Amino acid sequence: MGQAWGFSRHGGPEVQEFFDRPDPEPGRGEVLIRVDVAGVNPLDHLLRSGLVDGLDGGRPFPRVLGMEAAGTVLARGEDVNGLEVGDAVFGFALTGGGTYAEMTVLSAPNTARIPEGLSATVAATLPVAGTTAIDVLDQLGLPTGATVLVNGVGGGVGLAVAQLSVGHGLRVIGTGSTAKRKHAEAVGVRFIDYTAEDVAAAARELAPDGFDGIVDMVGGASLRRVAPLARHPRNVIAVGDMSVSDLGGRFVERRVDRENLERSARLALDGVLAPVITAVHPLSDAPAALAAVENGHTSGKVVIKVT
Ligand SMILES: NC(=O)c1ccc[n+]([C@@H]2O[C@H](COP(=O)([O-])OP(=O)(O)OC[C@H]3O[C@@H](n4cnc5c(N)ncnc54)[C@H](OP(=O)(O)O)[C@@H]3O)[C@@H](O)[C@H]2O)c1
């Protein structure tokens, strides 16, 4: 039996609760892990509210929050390759186990070993933000020297996209509110404060010939304001707003497999990807951790340290 934090039905934060859950049995293709650190993502509250579905593995309520974690393998189900009991691992809880919990099951094809030298805290932030950033850069395929606009640069995915872009030799301009300036500039981003400047005008001044790529984390009206700044609409990639296709852009194509996780770990070991972890909460403080992300203005990554 272990403590978990989740929700008893779809709704707002009021449906969240702590409960004790029997240790999950790892099914076919799953590993049971003792969770060390869980990453917190906007997807967690979207799943709770019922706005997104299909990632719960068909599990009954109460469901446990959280999609990514790092921990230690305690047991393997059938058909698990490349992971052994005792391994330190990180990955996705794609079969509905949730990760805001002392124990959970991860889907083995979407889980990788943590390489020597990488902390569990950093590893726990890589599955969602790290691999999304890799996918964005792969999809854009921009040459060194190209100019990219990162709209929403201060959050988990935005800073990872900025770091990989800088690592790839791109010129990076990023948008965010005032508190994000220090994080963005530390990465080498030319920052536009959307609370103080007209973003489209400032961006146009910095890239008069338009942007070779635009990566959008914000969506809605903000996406619509920046999308026309791209030299080719196809090179507008959104990670959260699927209506980007109405503008001629593309939604990020995700690869959540072990190979991509291993790639993210290598980039983190090399220092190209350096997750900015701005808050570490104990499991008992999970409500505050998710509330901080749910308010829509997170800096970097928020994690829950379970053990
Ligand atoms: N498709 C996928 O697989 C995938 C994977 C990961 C994430 N996502 C989605 O991508 C989005 C971003 O994820 P995330 O983890 O980076 O979220 P996050 O950590 O919450 O960051 C979002 C950032 O956007 C900034 N922001 C909000 N309004 C803005 C505006 N008008 N202009 C510029 N910046 C603004 C926020 O702070 P400030 O306003 O204070 O600057 C915050 O730093 C979410 O919708 C998430 O669900 C999708």
- In angstroms, what CA-CA distances link 226 with 9, 17, 77? 37, 39, 47
| pLDDT at res. 125 | 98
| pLDDT at res. 235 | 98
Helices 131-140, 156-167: inter-axial angle, 10-degree rounding: 50
- For the chain, the first-to-last Cα distance in angstroms comes to 15
Q: What is the pLDDT of residues 218-262, one digit of tens each?
A: 999 999 999 999 999 999 999 999 999 999 999 999 999 999 999
Q: How many angstroms does the Cα of residue 151 sit away from the middle of ligand 1?
A: 9
Delimit the domains of the chain by residue range.
2-125+275-305, 129-251
The mean pLDDT value for 5-27 works out to: 96
Please say whether the beta carbons of 275 and 127 come within 8 A: no
User: Amino acid identity of 69?
Assistant: A
189: Cβ contacts below 8 Å, ≥ 6 apart: 150, 153, 162, 166, 172, 173, 174
Between strands 301-305 and 277-282, the pairing is: parallel
User: Amino acid identity of 176?
Assistant: G
Q: What is the pLDDT of residues 254-290, one digit of tens each?
A: 999 999 999 999 999 999 999 999 999 999 999 999 9
Neighbours of 117 (CB within 10 A): 8
CATH superfamily of 2-125+275-305: Medium-chain alcohol dehydrogenases, catalytic domain (3.90.180.10)
Q: What is the pLDDT of residues 139-198, one digit of tens each?
A: 999 999 999 999 999 999 999 999 999 999 999 999 999 999 999 999 999 999 999 999
Instruction: Give the integer Cα–Cα distance in Å for 16 and 254.
Output: 28
Token pair belonging to 7: 């929700």
| pLDDT at res. 206 | 98
Instruction: Give the integer Cα–Cα distance in Å for 282 and 307.
Output: 8
Instruction: Give the integer Cα–Cα distance in Å for 254 and 67.
Output: 15
Q: How many angstroms does the Cα of residue 23 sit away from the middle of ligand 1?
A: 33
Q: What is the pLDDT of residues 53-83, one digit of tens each?
A: 777 777 889 999 999 999 999 999 999 999 9
Instruction: Give the integer Cα–Cα distance in Å for 86 and 76.
Output: 10
Residue ranges lining ligand 1, Cβ < 6 Å = 41-43, 128-129, 132, 151-152, 154-158, 175-177, 180, 194, 217-218, 222, 239-240, 252, 254, 293, 296-298
Please say whether the beta carbons of 277 and 159 come within 8 A: no
Please say whether the beta carbons of 148 and 215 come within 8 A: yes
**Closest approach atom of ligand 1 to CA 132:** 5
pLDDT at 293 over 90: yes
Please say whether the beta carbons of 183 and 205 come within 8 A: no
Q: Which of 157, 244, 261 to mutate to test ligand 1, by most ligand atoms within 8 A of the CB atom?
A: 157
| pLDDT at res. 299 | 97
Q: Which of 128, 131, 217 to mutate to test ligand 1, by most ligand atoms within 8 A of the CB atom?
A: 217
In this structure, the residue with its CA closest to atom 24 of ligand 1 is: 152
In this structure, the residue with its CA closest to atom 19 of ligand 1 is: 155
Eight-class DSSP state of 65: P
Q: What is the pLDDT of residues 88-133, one digit of tens each?
A: 999 999 999 999 999 999 999 999 999 999 999 999 999 999 999 9
The mean pLDDT value for 1-21 works out to: 96
CA 189 from centroid of its chain's CA atoms: 20
**Closest approach atom of ligand 1 to CA 222:** 31
Helices 42-49, 286-294: inter-axial angle, 10-degree rounding: 90
Please say whether the beta carbons of 243 and 214 come within 8 A: no
CATH of domain 129-251: 3.40.50.720
| pLDDT at res. 52 | 87
| Summary mean pLDDT of the chain | 97
The mean pLDDT value for 300-304 works out to: 98
